[in-house]
Every structure is written in C-alpha cells, then in structure tokens.
Structure 1
Amino acid sequence: MNSSVTLIRNHQLAQQVEYAYAAVADAPVRSIWVAGACPLDLDGETVAIGDYAGQTHQVMRNLVTALEGAGASLTDVVKTTVYVASSRQSDLVAAWEVYREYMGEHDVPSTLLGVTVLGYKDQLVEVEAVAVLAGGAGR
C-alpha cells in the first residue's frame, strides 16, 4: 500500500531517537483522527491488568482495527501520542518497546507521556493517532 506520508529525519538533531522528527502529508489528503486506543476486549473489559506490555499489545491491535475501519493502516499514521499511567520510566519503556514493535520501520513523530490516571478501570496504556490517506475525501 502506498502511503502519502513522508517522514522527516533531521541530521542536526540527535539520531539515537526511535522516531522521525516530523512528518509531511502532501495535499489533497483524507485526514483521520483516531480516538485513543485502549486495552479493552470486545466485551469492554480491560485486559492484561497490571501488565504494561500486555496492555500495549491490545492497544495496538485495537488501533490497527480502528484505522482499518477508516480505510487506513499504521503506515498512514503521521503522529501518535502514547500515554502510560506511571511515573516510572521503566513502565514507559515497556509500553514503548511494544508500540515500536507494531510500528516497525514507520517511525512517525510520537510523544511518550507518563500520566497519573487513564479513563478505564485498571487501564495503564492508551495510544492516539492521526493518519492521512492520499486522494482526499473522494477516495
């Protein structure tokens, strides 16, 4: 699948990061804003309670499904925000490693945040995304 997203890597900034510093989507494009993907199963129950990596796997599967419902895939994503309910950097890293596994070579600009609490009971991880598709609304 061709993506209308071009990831920008700036060699005047640190190269050790696991994401591009910017993304460009040339117009016309169809924009997709995905609600924060949560670690919920089909019954609306939080999965993998207490397990940052386990919840991130479910979050990413749910994100893929939400994107597919809009006709998009992870390679159409231009920006993500990863929320982790923890003040421990190791918990953020555990979630980030799973997130990166799903994103693969498509290392879009992303923000990783430790937050106090997320919306669902026992929820530890949430990922929101913005995606674009070439061709605008008439696709």
Structure 2
Amino acid sequence: MGHAVTLIRSFSLSDVAEYAYAATAPAGSRLIFLAGACPLNKDGSTAAVGDYAGQAAKALENMQTALTDSGASLHDIISTRVLVASSRQQDLGAAWEVVRAFFGDHDVPSTLMGVTVLGYEDQLVEIEAVAAVLDS
C-alpha cells in the first residue's frame, strides 16, 4: 500500500531546518491524531529518568506502538510536536537529535518546544504526532 503523506520542501526558506516545512495528505485519507507519546514503561514508571535522549527514544518507541495499533507506520506521519521540559537549548537539542535520527529520510514538519513541566513524574519529553493513511 502506498503512503498518503507528501512532504514539501520550500527552497525559498532557510535550509538550516532539518525537516520539510509542510506536508499534505490527499482528500479521502484517514487522519490519525496520536496522543502525546510519553517515555513510560509498560508498568507506568517513567523510563530514563534525567536523560533527555533516553526519554525521547522511549517516547518514540511508544509512538511506534500506537501507530502500529492504528494501522499506520512511520512514513504515514504528517507532522510532529516535540515537547521538552527545559529552558536550555542543549536539552532540546539532545531530544531532537534522537527524533531526527528516528525519522531519517521521512523528515516531517516538526515543532520543538521547551515547556515548563509535563504530566508524569520525572517526565522530560513528550512527542505528539498526526498521521494520514489511505485505506484500501
């Protein structure tokens, strides 16, 4: 089955960003809005306490599970929002490097934000995503 998402790169904007600036999905595609993926273990405990990169990796693992359970895959993601509980660019960068490596060539439009606090004890990273699929 083909993928619904088309990534759009704007050559009129800065090439510093390591992701597409926009994405589209055709009419008739089914949108999947994923809740923020958190770095939680199956028992509900927070993974990788104190480790931005480790929490980003666990959140992505959990996001991948939610995608699979929704009938979607990584290449069906149309956008992400990465929330990092820090005001330090270095911490945001540590989480972003993991996210960027995970997506590889499917560099979806993304927003990286520093926030004051996240919902779970010791939580440092949360990743929201929207996916689009073509049902057969």
TM class by smaller structure: over 0.9
> What is the total number of aligned residue pairs between the two structures?
136
Q: How far has the Cα of 1:2 moved from its partner?
A: 2.2
Secondary structure in 1 matching 2:58: helix
CA shift for structure 1 position 74: 1.1
Match of 2:8 in 1: 8
Deviations 1:104-139 (A, max 9, x none): 10011110000000000000000000000013xxx4
Give the superposition deviation at 1:101.
Answer: 1.1
| Alignment-derived partner of residue 128 in structure 1 | 128
Counterpart residue number, 2:27: 27
Supply the distance in 1 between the matched residues of 2:42 and 2:88 (Cα, whole angstroms): 29
Assess if the C-alpha contact under 8 Å between 1:27 and 1:134 holds in 2.
no
Cα offsets for 1:28-65 (capped at 9, x unmatched): 10110000000000001001000000111100000000
- 2:72 is aligned with 1:72: yes
Distance 2:64 2:13 in 1: 30
Q: Which runs of 5+ in 1 are unaligned?
A: none
Greater mean deviation of Cα atoms: 16-25 or 118-127:
16-25
Q: Distance in 1 between matches of 2:25 and 2:76?
A: 9
Q: Tell whether 2:106 aligns with 1:106.
A: yes
CA distance in 2, matches of 1:16, 1:2: 30
CA–CA distance in structure 1, aligned partners of residues 52 and 92 of structure 2: 8
Measure the CA separation in 2 of the matches of 1:127 and 1:85: 12
Supply the AA of the counterpart residue of 1:70.
S
Output the amino acid matched with 1:66.
A
Ranges in structure 2 where 5+ consecutive residues have no aligned partner:
none
**Which structure 1 residue ranges, 4+ long, deviate > 6 Å from structure 2?**
none
The residue matched to 1:121 in structure 2 has which SS? coil
Distance 2:2 2:113 in 1: 30
TM-score (norm 1): 0.95
Residue 27 of structure 1 deviates from its aligned partner by 1.3
Shift of 1:3: 1.1
